[in-house]
Structure 1
Amino acid sequence: MRELKEFTIPFVGLKLGQHSFHFEIANTFFEHFEYDEFNTARINLTALLDKKTTLLEFTLSYDGIVNVPCDITNEAFDQEVSGSYHFVVKFGETFNDENEDLLIIPHGSYEVNIQQYIYESIILSLPSRFIHPGIEDGSLQSDILDKLEELSPKQLKDTAEEGAELDPRWDELKKLLTDK
């Protein structure tokens, strides 16, 4: 996958200490990763780089809104997304990104691309199911919700109240429990 240049941070000219980088993440960022679950995305991300003599420490902090369809009704709504992620960049013989919290880049590198870490931290902070807040508080009126309610299985108590008789064999078995 090709790297997006705006997420490549050149660290060779930076002094030791903390440096802050700000990014605005939009839907085009997720389209680059072929992730099309969002209608729109507006996320503000701050990458705090703490440059030390032998390593780089990154802390990604983000918050914003993604517009997603509800998994139950397919109604679009704004889902808040926020979180942070911390990882370390060290220098070694070869490039190695097998560890999720440690990135090893070759000696002599002068920049690091953090797009994969941004993508993974945002996606993993999302809930596994998107449920419209109107469903939880009962304020959403939808034809789909009405149909789901209509087709939902009725409780056994409802059928007993309507006069439907239970199988008489169960009554005989219940007598065995009381005939000790």
Structure 2
Amino acid sequence: MKKDSPTTINIARLADKTHHFEFTLDRAFFEQFDQELIPDGNVHVDVTLHKTERLITVDFDLNGTVRQVCDRSLDDYDQAIETHEQLLVRFGDENKELDDNVLQITPDAQTLPLAQHLFDFVGLALPMKKLHPRFQNEPDDEPDAKTKLIFTTRGEDADDDEDDSDPRWNALRNLN
């Protein structure tokens, strides 16, 4: 990660008040990370940073699209994302991550790098099941469709009574 990244904010020069920033996450941004989850995108980020003596609150509004691969057809498509996230940065003795969205930095820190957080926010906004738009309106389960049993732990005679089971289980069933 480059130190002069456009998503790095110089907090040393900021006064204790609210500040606004805008970023665009594009192919160059996503190529900075060694990953295959998001190869390309066009995401507009509005950042509202409120700085006080002891705490920095950073609100992110992300809107745009990212390139994805459909889980069903393996076709590329643009997945729309829209999310709001918040990052709390407090000042303390050492630099460490206290929670998913809570950081601690030293008071003499000059910059606040946001690239990894922005990438994580985009990744969290993606759906678990990535479907091309032509498949998104199809029903997952048709109520009248016959389902096919692929695997069962019971034997071939699944309709037989449970008398074939281990007799030790029968003794346990009677313990009511």
TM-score, L = length of structure 2: 0.73
Instruction: Tell me, in whole angstroms, the C-alpha distance in 1 between the residues paired with 2:133 and 2:5.
Output: 37
Who is 2:8 aligned against? 8
Please give the alpha-carbon distance, in whole angstroms, between the structure 2 residues aligned to 1:46 and 1:61.
5
Unpaired runs of 5+ residues, structure 2, are: 139-144, 149-158, 162-176
Kindly tell me the number of residue pairs found equivalent between the two proteins. Answer: 145
Name 1:87's counterpart in structure 2.
Answer: 87
8 Å CA contact 2:94–2:105 kept in 1: the answer is yes
Q: Counterparts of 1:136 and 1:102 in 2: how far apart (Å)?
A: 35
1:17 is matched with 17
Paired with 1:15 and 1:4, the residues of 2 have a C-alpha distance of 21
- Equivalent position of 1:99 in the other structure: 99
1:148-169, CA deviations, whole angstroms, 9 ceiling, x for partnerless residues? xxxxxx9479xxxxxxxxxxxx
**What is the match of residue 151 of structure 2?**
none
* Whole-angstrom distance in 2 between the partners of 1:156 and 1:100: 41
Q: CA deviation at 1:110?
A: 2.2
1:55-105 Cα deviation digits (max 9, x unpaired):
111011101011212110112221101101111111111111142121111
Q: Write the mapping of 1:49-60 to structure 2, written as runs, cut at 5 A.
A: 49-60=49-60
Greater displacement, 107-116 / 32-41: 32-41
Given that 1:4 and 1:115 are in contact with CA atoms closer than 8 Å, whether structure 2 keeps it comes out as: no
Aligned partners of 1:83, 1:135: CA distance in 2, in Å? Answer: 23
Structure 1 alignment gaps of length 5 or more: 139-153, 158-169, 174-180
User: Distance in 2 between the 1:93 and 1:22 partners?
Assistant: 30
Partners of 2:85 and 2:38 in 1: CA distance: 21
Q: Which amino acid aligns with 1:135?
A: F
The alignment yields a C-alpha RMSD, in angstroms, of 2.4
Sequence identity (%): 22
Instruction: Classify 1:9/1:156 alpha carbon distance in 2 versus 1 (closer, same or farther; 3 Å).
Output: closer
Distance 1:156 1:49, change over 3 A: closer
User: For each residue in 1:6-51, what CA deviation from the matched residue of structure 2 results, as whole angstroms up to 9, or x when unmatched?
Assistant: 1211122222221011100012222211122335300001111001
Which residue in 1 is equivalent to 2:76?
Answer: 76
User: Cα gap change, 1:125/1:156 in structure 2, threshold over 3 Å: closer, same or farther?
Assistant: closer
Q: Is the contact between residue 16 and residue 53 of structure 1 (CA under 8 Å) also seen in structure 2?
A: yes
Q: Which has the larger radius of gyration?
A: 1
- For 1:99, the aligned partner's letter is D
Corresponding residue SS for 2:74: coil
